[in-house]
Chain A
Amino acid sequence: MASRPFEGINILDFTWTATGPASVNPLAFYGATVIKVESRGRFDALGSLGPFKDGIPEPERSYSFAYTQAGKRLSITLNLSHPRGQEIIRKLVEWADIVADSYVTGTMERWGLDYENLKKIKPDIIMMRTCMHGHTGPLAKQPGQGFILTALSGVDSLISWPDRAPSGAYGPFTDYVVPQLNTISIIAALDYRRRTGKGQYIDQSQHEATLGLIAPLILDYTVNKRDITGHGNRQPNAAPHGIYRCQGQERWCAVAVFTDAEWESFCKVIGKPSLASDPKFNTLAKRKENEDALDRVVEEWTSQRPPEEVMKLMQSSGVAAGLVSNARDMAEDRQFKHYNFFENREHPVQKNIPFSHGPNFRLSDEEYELGRSNLLGEHNDYVYTSILGFSDEEFVNLVAEGVI
């Protein structure tokens, strides 16, 4: 096999929780060596967030920790408050091409790991920092997380019924948006360094990063003074356009009809071809005008069938439709299986991690490699002796002195 894209690229990973690790994972999938630094007193916060395997609240049993550590890493412990911590950090920075962290301003600084200091050790270092509000301005030290950033970023307002306060996104949705942008920045910085020999400082405000996605809605405000609002499952350019009840408990299917041709196909599929020319529904404007009545027609038909059948009949006639998949449907989905989306990784404590995911694209000429979440300090021996060059004796002493 040819050398992998990031073979030889070293990442010193101080990130924790979801966004930071997810920013780094794609580089690990394609060959980068990642050392994750934790300490015995300060392990990754997701280790204490449930659900846990078998309900036992231990860090190595956390689903979310396992989920976000899908990229292969070497995990070490290091007590940065110990006087010898600085000596070791220096060696690690010399080893690294990239230093990544996801703390608010203050934490890395306290350890002497701000960009200016890193540059003194390694002039072409790339530093990737991601936090809620960026590392300048009055809120540089304000902590937060993706469960609530959805409110500041407009996402919650877009998942809502018009007659109610926003229902909002599920879970820490922005924690899955902003890492993608960080990965882009990191790879671009690596390529820039390869060509120019220059390092880079990446200061991502997660709030800023999310706002680019809704640029058209921001313009609708700055130009037209219209606020960001949700309109349930309807869209101005389609009808029917909704999520309809199907046969069974909590079974639903999305159906969307944009053009008149699709409308005709839809009417044939539901066995009412004459409905296509019904003056109440024969143009998009009419369908929008009579959308409540139209939705009743749709649901009368869908509610007598399982959603899988609705999807299949509609899609095979060129009408957009999709099962509202629950986690079981996802696990059994033929398209996800085709892309091998759910992978299983063996794990010493969880035994299996059946919800492991690699990159969300496929390269024609490159395989990816999936890792699994590590135990705390799992690779101390290897990293301290083989990578940092401490003798076995020195390593034992570092452990005894409480440095590791």
Chain B
Amino acid sequence: MAEKNEGMLSPYRVLDLTDEKGYFGAKLLGDLGADVIKIEKPAGDPGRSLGPFFHDEPGLEKSLFWMGLNTNKRGITLNLETAGGQEVFRQLCKTADIVIESFSPGYMESIGLGYEVLAKINPELIMTSISGFGQSGPYRDYKAPSIVLWALSGQSFVTGDADRAPLSTSYPIPYFFGGMQAAIGSLIAIFHRAVTGRGQYVDVPSILSLAWATGSDPQGLWLNDKAIVTRSGRYWPRPQPKPDGTIGYVNVPLTYPCKDGGVKFFPFVEQGQLPSTNGMTQWAIAEGCGTEAAKTVDWSTWNWQVVSQELVDDITGCFAALYMKHTKAELFEEAQKREIQLYPVFTAEDMLKFPQLSIRNFWEKVAHPELGETFTYPGAFTQLGEGSCRIKRRAPLIGEHNKEIYTGEMGMSENDMMLLKQKGDI
């Protein structure tokens, strides 16, 4: 079968009803070539009021939050709460492969557009619902902004400095976890549909993937050893079993200040990691920052379970002294030469200037004729040998593709479309 090489998912149509809690998931499918139609309220999507804004001027067509997360989508307006709008939506479902939504659990059923109803219209349809806590269970109806998800997922308890309250994230990372999982679940359902001919329902509680991301240390140490990991800021605590069966910790710095910012380094001693740790130690010694402990350390026999905090402080103190002699750019450059795993804490400017990203043509310039400017976006989330997942279109303006889709693809007359508009259905 011949197919245009525009993306791996080019035969599929996605109806995107999400808000900021799900934009990213539908966008990923669009990046891989799916025909994603973002459906907005006639007055514009609520996410358009989220900042940052173009030149800091709030406006429905100026939200950089909207623009950054809705590339590779077309956009139509449609009112899901009027009878006329719902009829149009049901029509759209007949030719769609995936409906993806992030309303409060139960909302789609309450307006008569739940999965049971849509599956009768199109048994092959896949419906994916993103929510904070899932479509069932005791927290189903709990409000789930980013900070609440970060807290209940176990992330907050381990992030932040010991001398202050636990920290949340200043950008809604939890929503992106829900979005990515929605894309995975939808694609598994798509792949399976080819065999069974049936669609299905995908329930994505964002809290699950976020809790999974706390990893094995906090979970394993509680469930096996009845020890609790708490926030330790710039350190990564390594557990030390004591003779009485309890667990202590040695705190190892992970983030260090340098002349003009911060760098991250950890002296791993695990399989394959010794060259980096040895390299770091030798570098500190070569620049006169090595103490006796650093000069005599044998990392190949190092055991985090028994080393003393004094020894850790002594040796990492040598690294700290070296870092304060240099800028983060100097440190990064030299670390690369020495094959040391050290990264500076990047500013946005550092990212844009990073040669590796430019050489791989990562950045993309996207034209916004309505704003009279072209600006730079992060590009493909992966590079592909066949096809690409680069930016093929900027985020849609309000109702930008109404005519193209309603008259061009659904066969409405211009007059029908105008009537729907007048009634507030689209």
Contact = CB atoms under 8 A, between A and B. Distances in A.
| A and B assemble together | yes
A321 to B, nearest CB: 7
B177 interface: yes
Contacts of B107: none
Interface residues of A, number: 162
B110 interface: no
Contacts of A30: 188, 192
B215 A202 contact: no
A315 B144 CA distance: 10
Q: Classify the interface of chain B: helix, strand, loop or mixed.
A: mixed
A55 B246 CA distance: 10
Given A57-B305, A330-B154, A338 B144 contact: no
Nearest to B33: A188
Interface in A220-268: 220-224, 226-233, 235-238, 241-245, 250, 252-254, 256, 258
B67 interface: yes
B120 interface: no
Given A148-B265, A327-B154, A319 B255 contact: no
Contacts of A315: 139, 142-143
Q: Which one of A115, A209, A228 has the greatest number of beta carbons of chain B within 10 Å?
A: A228
Contacts, number: 525
A208 B352 contact: no
B148 A321 contact: yes
Contact of B145 (A227, A244, A258): A258
Contact of A218 (B276, B351, B380): B351
B51 A5 contact: no
A325 B151 contact: yes
A363 B188 contact: yes
Contacts of B201: 363-365
A5 B156 contact: no
A216 B64 contact: yes
Contacts of B217: 51, 63-64, 171
Contacts of B207: 335-336
Contacts of B396: none
A147 B378 contact: no
Interface stretch (B87-95, B226-234, B286-294, B411-419): B226-234
B181 interface: yes
Given A145-B341, A151-B345, A170-B158, A50 B305 contact: yes
A209 B380 CA distance: 8
Contacts of A322: 142, 147-149, 151-152
Interface string B201-215: 111110111011111
A158 B188 contact: no
Interface in A132-157: 133-134, 136-139, 142-145, 147-157
Nearest to A66: B216
Nearest to A223: B375
Contacts of A359: 181, 184-185
Interface stretch (A85-93, A172-180, A284-292, A380-388): A172-180
Contacts of A250: 230
A161 B164 contact: yes
B369 to A, nearest CB: 15
Interface string B324-349: 00000000000010010111111111
Contact of A228 (B236, B342, B347): B347
Q: Which one of A231, A238, A252, A319 has the greatest number of beta carbons of chain B within 10 Å?
A: A252
B8 A189 contact: yes
Interface stretch (B37-45, B315-323, B382-390, B402-410): B382-390
A227 B352 CA distance: 11
Given A152-B343, A208-B380, A326-B228, A5 B188 contact: yes
B20 to A, nearest CB: 10
B381 A208 contact: yes
A360 B212 contact: yes
Interface in B109-161: 115, 133-134, 136-139, 142-145, 147-161
B268 to A, nearest CB: 7
Given A166-B345, A256-B148, A325 B254 contact: no
Nearest to B271: A45
Given A63-B216, A196-B3, 13 more contacts: A67-B219, A165-B257, A167-B160, A181-B28, A212-B24, A215-B377, A217-B348, A219-B64, A223-B375, A233-B165, A243-B156, A322-B147, A326-B218
B281 interface: no
A328 B228 contact: yes
